[in-house]
Structure 1
């Protein structure tokens, strides 16, 4: 029951894990931060990304082990994603055990398989970010919550639940929204007041320990200023799973223990996402990966419904023909997901491709060329393959990301950038594709205006999520430089 779902998740996580060595910008941040010394990491977190600080420290330690073993020969891309594959494998095993505890073995097996087959789970199983680890911790915390609610508030279950939820919240603060789902499950169960008091104590402990990080990270909220209204595709994914999950909840299933399947599955499926959407009306904050663990609620409900619908022929009036039709319908649904799963393992499945950008720059660049990143935060494109940018002068850079303890480095003033651009005859510009919103800082205005007034565009290469352009000084520079 555990080996089949976890084995499937491990296979799906390993399938196409390299993604043609494509790395997208958030993974590049993880790679950069994980390869800084811990003594350099802490000053950086005081300025930016403190919300991911624990995860960066853990991946830093992981890379020290990984790169010192023969496994490290597999490459940095695999090393970056292996922790997420392992975390999702553990999460699939936890979902199967949780389904068994709530309903039965068959329901647990099918819940674990459903979890592994959901495309968004496979997507974050192959990303070097914290979301798979958070999902696994929430799953196992929920697994401890169910038996803890059925026993006197003594022993190690409640401390274990508290420790797992605290780790999840320290890795990413929005894991705290799972506490609301757990509380709703206990209220809906319902359970004795002593259980509610024990859970409330655990909840207060987690939130109290999380409070300093939450207060400090609120000072860095400008990092998510790019978030506007939620992405329609992400909302559609949630809506589809929510509707399917509620439909599955209508299938009659007999639950075990005081905490029933519906009492746990429906709040876990709906509450975290709905609360995050409500929060987004105050300050935009919704991204589906922040509450990825909502998929666990769907998997539990779907696994129990499938166990009921696909029960063996002859059991409780189930005919062989009806079971065959339902089995074929499930197989068709799984087959329909194959194109999505194949797409997730292609470079085009992410926002951009840092590796492709670096290769395009290397192909266009010549020693002595100037280099500009527009906007400055796209300097992260050089983090994983800095050797592809050797010989180029970053005209806007004042202090490097490492020296300035930032993600993207600090840039010169707009006037200084203008003067430095005019000292070269040829410039490589790595920028967002045409049509994207532009930044209006003095530095970005200086870059755009100087290129427009003193240079002409010689050649350009469009890459997924980026554009690499060669500019030459007027007049007629492109005739010899293009």
Structure 2
């Protein structure tokens, strides 16, 4: 098999899987709505907003601003907003799959690289973030290629390679600060491989340069740490995913594999699989900060280990002397695994696969509202639901809003005091409430308490419907549910 084909085939599979169902019935979830809103602000407004909130994603928003400037003018009419949001992530994961294949080739061999690239593309969490308008796919791609350059630099130290490694890691860290957790994994690989001191010294200098350049952003972003105050103990499903991949990866590492070059497969794959997540979990004991997407690149370590193990176990009979029956059983095991993954992959391409559906919320509000109705978002951060389809909220009066997100240089706008909100609500005949579904914890600030108490004492429920991640309720003054003005 040609070297180019062993790289292009995994990249092609990733491109296919990324494009498959990319529109997701035009469903967009709240984090993607934030991306859409920020990317469509002017650069001056974006800068002013980043000084108050979300500075950790500033570079990504700026890149998406440039991307949408061209996409909206050329393709938006044909493909819509959802495709525009996700295409950069599809492209990034495609590049990442090619990098994983190259890494596998460099560390073990061509067949191992091919299977590592295929494994990477088939991991459900990779497909999930390949179809999200957030920075995590780009970060993953940059870490993959930084790792590849590190392997090259360890074999033949050249200043240009170390400069490339530094630039790639810095770009990844500027897109998301937790990409810096890949640095300890790289350092562990250098140490475990027992490379010459000059290589360790070069890695230390490169890492110090990355951290020094990142430090101003990291220090400034601590002022905005309230943004992740919603994080509690890690999601059990995310922890289970990591645990399963970690156990399988360690099992694959026990397969006897002959590595090429100074850095061995185990020396690189195991730390990359384990260290970023474990360090983030350790840090979460001080301040909750763990979400699997923050260290998504840990799956690269698993893909490398699994690809090499599969390459050895699935060797042709003339190389291994295995019987036709054993080869058939192994092939059937692979087919069974793909069959098990298929329902998961289909689910990832449905609107139900994300926390909420901004598009469905906007359409539901349009269907139940009448011109002149009052509008409330409960809690106020759900105002992001109107970011992608503001026309569906046209004619409604946001009773709580003091300044819009754009005017206030915030993500969700600012709201009036509780007393003012109560007075404004009492002037309305009907109010449409876009809020969280039942069972979600309620905010206890002055504004949210005023909304809930006024609705309870001065209004009655006319109708209520649930959409993915939201509940749309129409309230009216007693006796006014029948409509009419």
The TM tier, using the shorter chain, reads over 0.9
Tell me whether 1:125 sits opposite 2:130 in the alignment. Answer: yes
* Deviation, structure 1 residue 72: 5.7
Aligned residue for 2:263, secondary structure, equals coil
* Deviation, structure 1 residue 317: 2.6
Distance of aligned partners of 1:326 and 1:481 in 2 relative to their CA distance in 1, 3 Å threshold: farther
Aligned residue for 2:441, secondary structure, equals coil
Q: Distance in 2 between matches of 1:311 and 1:156?
A: 37
Taking structure 1 as the reference length, the TM-score comes to 0.98
Q: Distance in 2 between matches of 1:295 and 1:72?
A: 36
Distance of aligned partners of 1:216 and 1:174 in 2 relative to their CA distance in 1, 3 Å threshold: same
The corresponding residue for 1:454 is 458
Aligned residue for 1:391, secondary structure, equals coil
- 392, 400, 403: which is aligned to 1:399? 403
Tell me whether 1:259 sits opposite 2:263 in the alignment. Answer: yes
The corresponding residue for 1:372 is 376
* Deviation, structure 1 residue 75: 1.4
* Deviation, structure 1 residue 70: 4.4
Distance of aligned partners of 1:292 and 1:480 in 2 relative to their CA distance in 1, 3 Å threshold: same
Tell me whether 1:334 sits opposite 2:326 in the alignment. Answer: no
* Deviation, structure 1 residue 77: 1.0
* Deviation, structure 1 residue 461: 0.5
Q: How does 1:86-97 map to 2 (within 5 A)?
A: 86-97=91-102
The corresponding residue for 1:100 is 105
The corresponding residue for 1:184 is 188
- 267, 273, 279: which is aligned to 2:283? 279
The corresponding residue for 2:417 is 413
Q: Distance in 1 between matches of 2:352 and 2:426?
A: 36
- 11, 20, 35: which is aligned to 1:6? 11
The corresponding residue for 2:254 is 250
Q: Distance in 1 between matches of 2:15 and 2:186?
A: 28
Q: Per-residue CA shift, 1:412-455, capped at 9, x if unaligned?
A: 00000000000111000000001100001100000001101100
The corresponding residue for 2:24 is 19
Q: Per-residue CA shift, 1:123-144, capped at 9, x if unaligned?
A: 0000000000000000000000
Q: How does 1:168-179 map to 2 (within 5 A)?
A: 168-179=172-183
More deviation, 376-385/185-194: 185-194
Aligned residue for 1:478, secondary structure, equals coil
Aligned residue for 1:257, secondary structure, equals coil
Q: Distance in 2 between matches of 1:366 and 1:180?
A: 57
5+ residue gaps, structure 1: none
Q: How does 1:125-204 map to 2 (within 5 A)?
A: 125-152=130-157, 154-204=158-208
Does structure 2 retain, via aligned residues, the 8 Å contact 1:472–1:481?
Answer: no
Tell me whether 1:354 sits opposite 2:358 in the alignment. Answer: yes
Alpha-carbon RMSD across the aligned residues, in angstroms, is: 1.1
Distance of aligned partners of 1:347 and 1:150 in 2 relative to their CA distance in 1, 3 Å threshold: same
The corresponding residue for 2:304 is 300
5+ residue gaps, structure 2: 1-5
Aligned residue for 2:155, secondary structure, equals coil
Taking structure 2 as the reference length, the TM-score comes to 0.98
Aligned residue for 2:317, secondary structure, equals coil
The corresponding residue for 2:121 is 116
Aligned positions, number: 480
Q: Distance in 1 between matches of 2:68 and 2:129?
A: 19
Q: Distance in 1 between matches of 2:319 and 2:332?
A: 19
The corresponding residue for 1:51 is 56
